Structure 1
Amino acid sequence: MTRRDIEFDAEGVTLRGWFYTADGASGAAPTVVMAHGFSAVKEMYLDTYAESFAAAGLNALVFDNRNFGASDGSPRQEIDPWAQVRDYRHAITYATTLPEVDADRIGIWGSSYSGGHVLVVAAIDRRVKAVVSQVPLVSGQGNFRALVRADFIDGFRSQFDADRLARFQGDPPAMVPVVDEDPLAPSALPTPDSYRWFTETHKLRAPSWRNEVTLRSVEMFTEYEPASYLPYISPTPLLLMPAQNDVLTPTHLTIAAYEQARQPKKLQILPGGHFDAYVRGFEASSGPARDWFVEHLAP
């Protein structure tokens, strides 16, 4: 396995990441395209998944989302889910130009917010031949109402409207923390496990991560409904992996959404909570994903 830095154009924005060459490959090999979730950067354990896939004979193309990490784009720290969906498709296009890549054997992997993106991409882009969605966001409205107390929602909407007016008048975007030690304080991801994972992973391996996103990122999150695309993924094989006790992208929402997908599909319940998949539960999450891609992208 070798890793090299890559960059490619996405409608005028340069996206940057890594390309992992499959172990033992002679000629073009199957390839998995990967990006991270809400505000996260590629150093937040995407390398470990890519290494696992490469060891099994799969190339892996990992990139930072626009406006984050090593990638260009502005406003910085703004998350537009539809722009990120398009960027997955740009990454697929770029992958097909590489000599190491078999363009007829492309898989996509996503986790958390990007776990929602890959559901959309798999439904609308038939170049995708297998998809793995880990601890995904399936419903922006459902997730928003699960995380935010009902009596706080109108206050959030007032903030969204004020930010929209301020931006129209030329002011910079309003910002909000991604996480806060106090789950009742204003933040995009108001759960204790989110605060622990992001702050610890930032210190340990991802110095480029910043604890802020634009307020509009949160508004766009509430408008995003990836589950509506689930019926259209078939006949592309889908592996959906919710965590057993996920309080950030609630387990019951993902399991209910799974019922909307058609065959071929598989539901794999991961141990622990939302962030356990990356560290303590890494083997439990990476192994089934690796095996799914090997099964469905093999010659």
Structure 2
Amino acid sequence: MPREDIEFQTSDHVTLRGWFYKPSDSSDKLPCLVMSHGFSALKEMDLNTFAEYFTSKLALSCLVYDNRGFGTSDTLSGQPRHEILPPVQCSDISDAITYAQSRADVLENKIGIWGSSYSGGHVLWVGAVDRRVKAVLSQVPCVSGWDNFHRLIRPDFIPGLNTMFQEDRLGRAAGKTAQTLPVVDEDPLKPSALPTADSYEFFSAWGKKSNWKNEVTVKSIEAFREYDPSFHIHHISPTPLLMTVAENDVLTPTDLALKAYARAIEPKELQILPGGHFDGYSGSNFETNAGRQAAFLKKTLCV
């Protein structure tokens, strides 16, 4: 599928960079799916695979980009890279929609959003509050930062993290460099943002074949705990929603996602995949996963 290198400006004048895909035989205006990745992940970590699949099966374009401060995208002057602030990333999704609408080859009234993991939560928020969105695809989403945080972090580790949050705030106020943590660590007893075995396996593999960095700011973890991305899930309606949930997800727990889905209002669809959090990105589950998502897009966005 043809792929174009693109860049666009956010509302606070940060340049985000990515790729724009469209079918090889199309010269018409098409619907567009805006796609963003999860916690610290880069666009080449399988987002390209989904975009290529969708544009090969549908009369659809896909906009894929790196979140600010990651990969090829910039960050705000004076702010650290590898910092993840959910309200900012949600705002950036809306700015990506604006960029898509500005393109001559996009049908401006047919924009969908696709997010996975952390951004699977973001699209629930954006789909509710940005009424330009005409379809929402939420894959293995983080639906409650507070609940998710307390599932991932052992209770005896939390006082130490609270102290770390305080020290980081005081240090940054005094002009010191932002403190960081590894995203993953092989040793579950050592501090990391995503302390699960499958997270370590997934990110370590990508670290060997991409420019992904095993680093995130401490403030990102504090911001994660306070984030409630499914707060507005019942306001997505009447925009169609497809939520994809992994049957044995220990990173964004299955039961939390299902409870959030239950609060959504029709029209909505649920896809439950076998395996864990990362098993829908590639391998034997990919065709099932992407195929169901393509069928949803065909009847909601590509009509």
TM-score normalised by the chain length of structure 1 = 0.97
Corresponding residue of 1:136:
141
**Equivalent residue of 2:278, what SS?**
helix
1:283 matched to 2:287? The reply is yes
Say how many residue pairs are matched. Answer: 297
Give the aligned CA root-mean-square deviation in angstroms. 1.0
Q: Tell me the amino acid that sits aligned with residue 183 of structure 1.
A: P
Is 1:109–2:114 an aligned residue pair?
yes
Asked if structure 2 preserves the Cα contact closer than 8 Å seen for 1:193 and 1:275, the reply is: yes
Q: Which amino acid aligns with 2:124?
A: L
Match of 1:163 in 2: 168
3-state DSSP class of the match of 1:49? helix
Deviation of 1:153 after TM superposition, in Å, equals: 1.3
1:23 to partner: Cα distance: 4.3
> Alpha-carbon deviation of 1:270?
1.2
Residue of structure 1 in register with 2:126 after alignment: 121
Structure 2 counterpart of 1:255: 258
Q: How does 1:60-71 map to 2 (within 5 A)?
A: 60-71=62-73
Unaligned runs of 5+ in 1: none
Q: Is the 8 A contact 1:22 1:29 kept in 2?
A: no
Aligned to 1:223: 226
Residue 154 (structure 1) shift: 1.7
- Aligned counterparts of 1:171 and 1:284: Cα–Cα separation in 2: 48
Amino acid at match of 2:267: P
Post-superposition shift, 1:226? 0.8
Native 8 Å contact 1:117 1:226 kept in 2? yes
Give 1:39's aligned amino acid: S
Mapped to 2, the partners of 1:228 and 1:57 lie a distance apart of 33
Matching of residues 1-299 of structure 1 within 5 Å: 1-10=1-10, 11-55=12-56, 56-73=58-75, 74-204=79-209, 207-280=210-283, 281-299=285-303
Deviation at 1:24, TM superposition (A): 3.7
What amino acid is the match of 2:282?
Answer: V
User: Does the residue aligned with 1:209 lie in a helix, a strand or coil?
Assistant: coil
* TM-score (norm. length: structure 2): 0.96
Q: Percent identity between the aligned chains?
A: 55
What displacement does 1:109 show? 0.3
Report if the CA contact (8 A) 2:59-2:302 is conserved: no
- Tell me, yes or no, if the aligned pair for 1:17 and 1:64 is still in contact at 8 Å: yes
Amino acid across the alignment from 1:277? G
Separation in structure 2 between the aligned mates of residue 285 and residue 270 of structure 1, nearest angstrom: 7
Measure, in 1, the Cα distance between the counterparts of 2:73 and 2:295. Answer: 30
Letter in 2 for 1:49: F
Runs of 4+ in 1 over 2 A off after TM superposition: 22-26
Q: Does the Cα contact within 8 Å between 1:167 and 1:173 map onto a contact in 2?
A: yes
